[in-house]
Amino acid sequence: MSSVTCHLPPVTFPSTRLRRARMQPWLRELVAEHRLHPSDLVWPVFIQEGKNQETPVASMPGVSRITLDILVKKAKKAQALGIPAIALFPLVDAQRKSPLGDEALFKDNLICRAISEVKNTVPELGIIADVALDPYTSHGQDGIVENGKILNDATVEILCKQAINQARAGCDIVAPSDMMDGRVGKIRAALEAENLSDTLILSYAAKYASSLYGPFRDAVDSAKYLGAADKRSYQMDCANGDEAMREIAMDIQEGADLVMVKPAGFYLDIVARASSAFAVPVVAYQVSGEYAMIKAAAANGWLDAQAVMLESLLAIKRAGARAILTYAACDVAKQLGR
């Protein structure tokens, strides 16, 4: 069969006026290349012990730590808004923290009880559980510390037990966010060995050592334990992009079902590269600092919080993210519903 080459004339003005398709709202909607939908969003939630309590996080306007009775109610509302999943992060009492983060392995810990209660009440809502030790350690690091060094392999052994603990509680997706080498493969093998093969792994494959995590650390109360230390020996250097591709490729080879880029808005180039290079879905996390900056600027009257939040999330999706974790998920879902 012969091929026919179509030679288009040069695009010139006035025969071509690109503004024509922007003139009316319905036209802009008709030709939009990307759309944001509630089903694109995952809502990260901070949980705490107690009953009927909401504790506002000062550095994250509109965000609170909530007790499990309130979590169940809000989980129902999130699901009704079309949000497909929530991600849980615990506030662990100081007396339960330890150098090895033992609390992470107890089957009746806060996160496991939260998973069970939500699954029993809203079974159709997906639950993502963070696999990392920093909420549980008395030093605020994501791993075991010995003589000032983070021990990779010893940490991974504990992370495997933590992931199994969460999966047994009913978690749909375990999300190792620690950035230890080799942990995805070890967690996958551990889940298979325990007949938990249906549990997905969302790997924080490209998690940067960003300065944007401060409000999150306030929310889980880890900042004061971390002190002047940092996480640069295991989280990624902000200068590197090719290294992120290697990290993602390795995690996929080890069995990751989804991969995460974090932060999202400051690393759209990594989101775009990853979504183009890999067939595995790319998830992006609009982190606490990104959220807080928008809220703080809006509080000062410098911008429209709703408009900027929508724009920021649409940009993340345009870059190639299949799903976005954002603290604004419920507010955005309501706005999109209207």
What digits encode the pLDDT tens for the residues 177-209?
999 999 999 999 999 999 999 999 999 999 999
Query: Which residues constitute the domain of residue 276?
Result: 35-337
In a domain, 29, yes or no: no
In a domain, 249, yes or no: yes
**Cα separation of 99 and 122, whole Å?**
35
**Cα separation of 248 and 256, whole Å?**
9
Contacts 24+ apart (CB under 8 A), 132-135: 132/159, 132/176, 132/177, 132/178, 133/100, 133/101, 133/104, 133/158, 133/159, 133/162, 133/178, 134/178, 134/220, 134/222, 134/226, 135/89, 135/90, 135/91, 135/92, 135/104, 135/220, 135/222
Tens digit of pLDDT for each residue in 47-57?
A: 999 999 999 99
In a domain, 8, yes or no: no
Tens digit of pLDDT for each residue in 282-314?
A: 999 999 999 999 999 999 999 999 999 999 999
pTM of the model: 0.94
**Active-site residue, 262 included:** yes
The residue from 97, 119, 207, 317 that is catalytic is 207
In a domain, 27, yes or no: no
Mean pLDDT score of the chain: 95
pLDDT, mean of residues 160-183: 97
**Percent of the chain scored above 90 by pLDDT?**
92
Number of domains into which the chain is organized: 1
Which CATH number is 95's domain given? 3.20.20.70
**Active-site residue, 207 included:** yes
Residue 233: predicted pLDDT: 93
The residue from 74, 262, 295, 317 that is catalytic is 262
Residue 2: predicted pLDDT: 53
